Amino acid sequence: MLRRSNVRQSKQRFNASVNILMKVVSWILRLLLRLAVAITLLLLLRWIVLRIRRVQIRPTPYTTPPIGPESIDVRRRRIVISDLHLGAGDRKDDFCDDEALIAFLDHYVSREPTELILAGDTFEFLQVSLPDVADDEWTPRAAARRLQAIIAAHAGVIDALRRFMQQEGNQLTILIGNHDFELHYPTAKAVLREALNLATDDHRLRFGISYHGGGVYIVHGNQFDRWNRFINFASISEPFEVVRGTQLVKEVINELEEDRFPLAPLIDNIKPSSAFFWYLMSLQRLRDPDARRFVTRGIVGFLQVTAWAPPHHLSSEPDEWLRNSPLKVLWQPIATFRRQRVARHQAIARQFGAVAEAVDNLPEVVDQVRDEARRQASREVSAFNDEIAREMALLAQQPSYRADRLFVCGHTHLARVIKLDHNRVYINTGTWTDIVFDVETMRRPTQRYPFLEIINDADGIPHGQLLVWYGPDQPPRVWVEEEPSRQRKQSRVQ
Ligand SMILES: [Mn+2]
């Protein structure tokens, strides 16, 4: 009797625990289901918002024309360099080789009548922070102030350019890139003219969005890159067009570069911008609290930038229609809320960073994630560079480019020479900023100062050669394809 009741009791207990277990399982399942529904709804909502929210972009008169064959003189030697990224001389400034550039201009470029073509991202407007200019101010005044700060920080380079302009027969052509898009503003153009002692109507300095003639086609190259492609690249738009890449630099990278983490100032080296996420994940020493804080801040910032539509309509003033409408009262609070968006995002990223710093005992899987992220970053970098080469090759096939021999751009910071067919070639002029191929080994390019020299033969056919400047004491050498990075070798073996 007693035993039977014991059995019954334990049976009951067993049933009870099965019941509890079932309840827990069904509770977890319900929670997961709700989570899935919530995420789906959020994604749907985001999709609807992006569909409905159509921002109309209107071109303004602040424009820069393309440079065409009628204004290209092929008798002169042409020299092309790109992506100098001259900044305001602070921690965010990536150009630290004024001496090399000055020597190059004085001893090589000025040696004979030359057209010097700066093929975009010459000035790093996006990383200039000034006490009297708001970070999201896109106006003629802001553009002029930022360029003044850059000119003051690199006075020696500007002096050398002025000396170049003083010589008979020289021409300076500046193409617009995504980091110096603000050169479209006439105020910015005027600041540079004044610094170079040139009158407003002096055609020896000219600006362009592209350069096409005499068998050569040159653009900066950002229009081939979906993160930095402008809907209207030919002029400033109203509202100002803030492309994803610009947003990432201004809202995430600039703040990260001020971080005390030693690798912080190198963070804007990463091309393409979409590889930023994988690059952060692949950073060494995730087990180090400082690195963990930094990486987490970057990733949270990156996710916030990609989650929403680009903030094109960050206009600092209400437009005509709104000014005359009773809805005007709503504008101020909404504008203030929007203006504080970046500060809120940065605060969230900092908080996440602080939490990550405090986490202890990271599981083994972190190392695997890091290795996979490293491979993914390297895949994205190769895909990006190949994509731009492919776009150039497609362009070269179009009828209006049939007669051209040289297809040139910068933007990727990776110098390259790729044959398109037997007599046409794609050349990327790389960068003069301090770049690191691989943070793990801190390997830097040995050919630091690449430039393209174009000389026309007696038949008017242009011959371009990518060369490397090694200082005034030795002649430039022909650029050679460097050893593939350790990273690439690894991914090839696998
Ligand atoms: Mn660029």
pLDDT, tens only, 209-219: 999 999 999 99
Domain count across the chain: 2
Domain stops at, among 374, 408, 436:
374
Q: How far is the CA of 257 from the centre of ligand 1 (A)?
A: 18
Do 87 and 146 fall into the same domain? yes
Do 259 and 380 fall into the same domain? no
Q: Two tokens at 427?
A: 């050349």
pLDDT at 372: 82
Q: Which of 330, 305, 240 shows the shortest CA–CA distance to 58?
A: 240
Q: How far is the CA of 88 from the centre of ligand 1 (A)?
A: 18
pLDDT band at residue 488, thresholds of 50, 70 and 90? Answer: very low
Q: Which residue has the higher pLDDT, 246 or 357?
A: 246
Give me the percent of the chain exceeding a pLDDT of 70: 90
Give me the percent of the chain exceeding a pLDDT of 90: 52
pLDDT at 32: 93
Q: How far is the CA of 229 from the centre of ligand 1 (A)?
A: 10
Q: How far is the CA of 73 from the centre of ligand 1 (A)?
A: 26
Q: How far is the CA of 55 from the centre of ligand 1 (A)?
A: 24
Q: How far is the CA of 343 from the centre of ligand 1 (A)?
A: 26
pLDDT at 310: 67
Whether residue 455 lies inside any domain: the answer is yes
Asked if 284 and 312 count as a contact pair (C-beta separation under 8 A), the reply is no
Q: How far is the CA of 345 from the centre of ligand 1 (A)?
A: 25
Whether residue 292 lies inside any domain: the answer is yes
Where in 18-82 does DSSP place strands (E)? 58-63, 77-81
Q: How far is the CA of 228 from the centre of ligand 1 (A)?
A: 8
State the residue range of the domain holding 437: 61-238+376-493
391 membership: H or E segment, kind and range:
helix 365-397
Q: How far is the CA of 373 from the centre of ligand 1 (A)?
A: 24
Do 94 and 200 fall into the same domain? yes
Whether residue 109 lies inside any domain: the answer is yes
pLDDT of 305-338, one tens digit each? 887 766 665 555 666 777 777 777 777 777 777 7
Q: How far is the CA of 118 from the centre of ligand 1 (A)?
A: 12
Do 323 and 352 fall into the same domain? yes
Q: How far is the CA of 236 from the centre of ligand 1 (A)?
A: 17
pLDDT of 405-452, one tens digit each? 999 999 999 999 999 988 999 999 999 998 777 666 677 788 999 999
Do 258 and 214 fall into the same domain? no
Whether residue 23 lies inside any domain: the answer is no
Determine which of 353-362, 377-386, 440-449 has the lowest per-residue pLDDT on average: 353-362
pLDDT at 471: 93
Q: How far is the CA of 433 from the centre of ligand 1 (A)?
A: 12
Strand-pairing partners, residue 452, are 80, 466
Q: What is the CATH number of the domain that holds 187?
A: 3.60.21
pLDDT of 123-155, one tens digit each? 999 999 999 998 888 999 999 999 999 999 999
Q: How far is the CA of 306 from the centre of ligand 1 (A)?
A: 19
pLDDT at 493: 34
pLDDT at 92: 87
Is residue 36 packed enough to be buried (19+ CB in 10 Å), middle (13-18) or exposed (0-12)?
exposed
Model confidence at 483: pLDDT above 80? no
Do 92 and 217 fall into the same domain? yes
Domain stops at, among 374, 408, 428:
374
Whether residue 165 lies inside any domain: the answer is yes
Q: Identify the sign of the CA torsion 243, 246, 248, 250.
A: negative
Do 205 and 99 fall into the same domain? yes
Q: How far is the CA of 264 from the centre of ligand 1 (A)?
A: 20
Q: How far is the CA of 179 from the centre of ligand 1 (A)?
A: 6
Asked if 80 and 175 count as a contact pair (C-beta separation under 8 A), the reply is no
pLDDT of 259-296, one tens digit each? 878 777 777 777 777 777 777 777 766 667 778 888 88
| Integer CA distances (angstroms), 139 to 62, 142, 186, 292, in order | 11, 5, 11, 38
Helices (H), 53-154: 98-107, 140-153
**Average model confidence (pLDDT) across the chain:** 86
Do 329 and 407 fall into the same domain? no
Do 216 and 342 fall into the same domain? no
Q: Residues near 417 by Cβ (< 8 Å), separated by ≥ 6? A: 425, 426, 427, 428, 466, 479, 481
pLDDT of 28-59, one tens digit each? 999 999 999 999 998 888 777 767 666 778 89
Asked if 293 and 356 count as a contact pair (C-beta separation under 8 A), the reply is yes
Do 340 and 358 fall into the same domain? yes
Domain stops at, among 349, 374, 399:
374
Whether residue 484 lies inside any domain: the answer is yes
What is the C-alpha separation between 249 and 262, in angstroms, rounded?
19
Do 275 and 192 fall into the same domain? no
Residues listed for the chain: 494
Q: How far is the CA of 52 from the centre of ligand 1 (A)?
A: 31
Whether residue 14 lies inside any domain: the answer is no
Helix/strand/coil (H/E/C) assignment for every residue in 403-421: CCCEEEECCCCCCEEEEEE
Strand, coil or helix: 317: coil
| Integer CA distances (angstroms), 101 to 76, 97, 157, 448, in order | 21, 6, 7, 11
Do 363 and 409 fall into the same domain? no
Whether residue 347 lies inside any domain: the answer is yes
**How many alpha carbons lie under 13 Å from residue 22 in its C-beta half-sphere?**
6
Q: How far is the CA of 120 from the centre of ligand 1 (A)?
A: 7
Q: Which of 453, 445, 443 shows the shortest CA–CA distance to 486?
A: 443
Which residue matches tokens 């303004």? Answer: 60
